[in-house]
Amino acid sequence: MTKQYAIGVDLGGTNLRVGLVTPEGEVLKKVKEPSTGDIMGNMKKAVDDLMSPEVKGIGIGVAGVVDRKELKVIASPNIPQINGFSFGSLGFTVPVSVENDANAAALGEASFGAGREYPNSVLLTLGTGVGGGLIYKGKLLEVAAEIGHMSIDTGGGKCFCGNNGCLELYCSARAIMASIIKALESGAESILREHSQGNIYRITPEDVYKAALEEGDNLSRETLREAGRYLGVGIANMINIMSPDAVILAGGLIGAWNIYIDEAIKEAAKRAFKSLYQKTAIVPATLGDEAGLVGAANLIFQGQALHDLSSL
Ligand SMILES: [Zn+2]
């Protein structure tokens, strides 16, 4: 029997996704559950349920820093209970690849999504934090690509990574919400106050885009614009360093494209080398929450970073 499928795993801070994937990036079967409790046990069970003689290997994307060679999680700030975990201990009998989840998503978008037409691309995931991945000539660069932790402000606040003034402190959903809450606490006027039914701590990023895009709320608009300007600085830096064909933007925050991303594009245009900026498409991701899963599976199809567990 030909081994034509791969199992993709996306072990994110919020959800665990496991799927059976074709070489064309189609997800034939999928399991999604919260990343809580015995995460690795749940993952193993979901993988075993999809396993068949037609499966070539298992690609795993993990929220955190990984050791590709040792198939280990070095540090996962969002899922600390898996720090130090070795996938070799799960007893899989097919080859396994391990990657950072944003890197896996970058490969997913590059192979099957918004990046298909672009050999060289940068993916930025804009969510609670800011992650990234770099694609060169259609392949994932096996580097950290911690784009959210590039320094933007020398005097900026402290980041959990130990640095000060990291990009994600200014343009992530967490940063946007912190800035909104601070303004509301100090008495700023905003329609958000009415929507929050007396508890401003219940406001979500979606409430902020809605207020900005549909209700013209000044506080929401200004906060998203300010965050967008910082994101634009980060994008300009990436364009100047990588001269990609495309910058692909993913994550919940692209819901606010018309204000937040528009502002980022304007800022990037001002700052990046003109000749490089002009040849860079800035486009939204198209695979949604399946990017990490299909990208992780594609590590197996591309034969990248493949490690045979029988040799460990
Ligand atoms: Zn940082």
Q: What is the pLDDT of residue 169?
A: 97
Q: How does the average pLDDT of the chain come out, rounded? A: 94
User: What are phi and psi for residue 203, nearest 5 degrees?
Assistant: -65, 135
pTM for this structure?
Answer: 0.92
Are 89 and 298 within 8 A, CB to CB? no
The token pair at 150 is 């590039």
Please give the average per-residue pLDDT across 207-234, as a whole number: 97
Please give the average per-residue pLDDT across 260-285, as a whole number: 98
Q: What is the pLDDT of residue 78?
A: 81
Residues measured by CB to lie within 5 Å of ligand 1, the ion: 149, 159, 161, 163, 166
Whether 251 has a pLDDT exceeding 80, the answer reads: yes
What would the pLDDT profile of 116-140 be if each residue is shown by its tens digit?
999 999 999 998 899 999 999 999 9
- Cα torsion 23, 25, 31, 36 to 10°: value is 100
Please, what are the domains in the chain? 5-108+289-311 (3.30.420.40), 117-286 (3.30.420.40)
Please give the average per-residue pLDDT across 65-94, as a whole number: 93
Q: What is the pLDDT of residue 306?
A: 52
Ligand 1 centroid from CA 151, angstroms: 8
Ligand 1 centroid from CA 197, angstroms: 34
**Hunting for tokens 């999604």 — which residue is that?**
32
Are 240 and 277 within 8 A, CB to CB? no
Ligand 1 centroid from CA 162, angstroms: 6
* Mode of pairing for the β-strands spanning 96-100 and 55-62: parallel
Looking at residue 261, what DSSP letter applies?
I
Alpha helices in 74-204, H assignment, sequence order: 101-112, 168-171, 173-185, 191-195
% pLDDT > 90, the chain: 87
Are 248 and 123 within 8 A, CB to CB? yes
Q: Amino acid identity of 126?
A: L
Q: What is the pLDDT of residue 312?
A: 41
Ligand 1 centroid from CA 83, angstroms: 18
The 10 Å Cβ neighbour count of residue 261 is 22
Query: Per-residue confidence at 311, pLDDT binned at 50, 70, 90?
Result: very low
Nearest-angstrom CA–CA distance, 163 and 150:
9
